[in-house]
Amino acid sequence: MCSSPDPDPARLTEAEWQGLRQEAGELEYAWQETYRALIEAAHAEPALRALYPFTSHWALRFSTTTRPRLTVVGPSLMANSDGTYGVGRGFVSADLGRFATAREAVAVGVRHLPSGLGPVALGE
C-alpha cells in the first residue's frame, strides 16, 4: 500500500498507516464503519502505531519490519460483519476474544504484544 520512496522505516510505517486510514475511509462495504473504527482505534494506540501495519483478508496485522519481508508480531485484529471485533493469535482466528468495541479489541491486542519491541526496521 505504501508508495513512499523514502527508505526510512519510520516514514514508511507512517505512510502505511496513512494509506490504511485513507482506504478504510473510502470502502463501500456494509461494515465499513466497523473496519474504519478498528483502524482508527489501532492507530490511536502508540504501541501499535509504532509497528508497521498491514492487512490480509481484512485482518489488521503488525510487523517489526517493512515490506517486502514482514516480521509478523502480536495478534491479529478483525472487524467482523456483525459489528463486533475479534482478536486472535492466528491468521483470522478470534481465539483471544470477540468485543463490542474497537477500543476493547485494541486494548487486548496491545496486552498480547511481546515486550521489548524496538523500532521498525527495513524488511530487506
Residue 109 vs residues 4, 48, 86, 99: alpha-carbon distances, Å? 27, 9, 10, 11
Given a cut of 60, whether residue 2 has pLDDT beyond it is: no
If 0-12 CB within 10 Å is exposed, 13-18 middle and 19+ buried, where does residue 115 land? Answer: exposed
The helix-helix angle for 9-26 and 32-44 (nearest 10°) equals 150
The helix-helix angle for 32-44 and 102-111 (nearest 10°) equals 40
Q: What's the pLDDT tens digit per position in 74-113?
A: 999 999 989 999 999 977 788 999 999 999 999 999 999 9
Considering only CA atoms, which of 37, 48, 28 is closest in space to residue 16? 48
Tell me the whole-structure pTM to 2 decimals.
Answer: 0.91
Given a cut of 80, whether residue 18 has pLDDT beyond it is: yes
As a whole number of angstroms, the distance between CA 29 and CA 33 comes to 9
Given a cut of 80, whether residue 24 has pLDDT beyond it is: yes
Given a cut of 70, whether residue 4 has pLDDT beyond it is: no
Instruction: Quote the pLDDT of residue 117.
Output: 94
